[in-house]
Chains A and B, each alone.
Chain A
């Protein structure tokens, strides 16, 4: 069972470089999201999507871009990396409704990004 797959697991960037964090899920989940985790801050929502073609901003969207062209994929783009974007990034997905759905999030393994 693949679940939620994130790549890469580790990345080092220089200030100003761009990159894309990939996220794919094989559970047909409508909802997908990106979080960043910083020490003492918990998980903060960057962007989310409730279906293909629909995205919206979370708590900390600045400097990040997303798109959702398919149900399975939800890439996160850093347009011009800054040291403040050094963090651990998690992609998470869940079903929106139906059955005995408790709506818990299924997480990827995380991507550790360092911006020098």
Chain B
């Protein structure tokens, strides 16, 4: 069984500062993908970034980077130079590469960016 843990229900950051949102996972699958999604107050779910378990380098997408530490089973999202529009819920998710293909989501972290 897969499990995703996001231990920070809420986070605050000052505008233009960097922030790290934590995500740990548990799986017995040798190959898997890790995802982060953003849900602003308008409610839609937006895909941010993907990391494959066999990728040698940490994934980056603009101001988003994924700090992937395979041995620790962690996949933290780093947002650099926070903007007011980054205020949202952030969900970490994991999906095995084979088998049922079903992704598992964490409970989310609410990020508030202060001006």
Contacts and interface: CB of A to CB of B under 8 A. Distances in A.
Interface string A82-105: 000000101010001000001111
Interface residues of A, number: 24
B101 A42 contact: no
Given A42-B108, A110-B43, A110-B44, A102 B102 contact: no
Nearest to A37: B39
A44 B105 CA distance: 8
Contacts of B45: 90, 92, 105, 107, 110
Nearest to B45: A107
B43 A109 contact: yes
B33 A96 contact: no
B105 A43 contact: yes
B47 interface: yes
Contacts of B47: 104-106
Contacts of B102: 33, 45, 48, 58
| Residue with the highest number of chain A CB atoms closer than 10 Å, among B33, B37, B43, B103 | B103
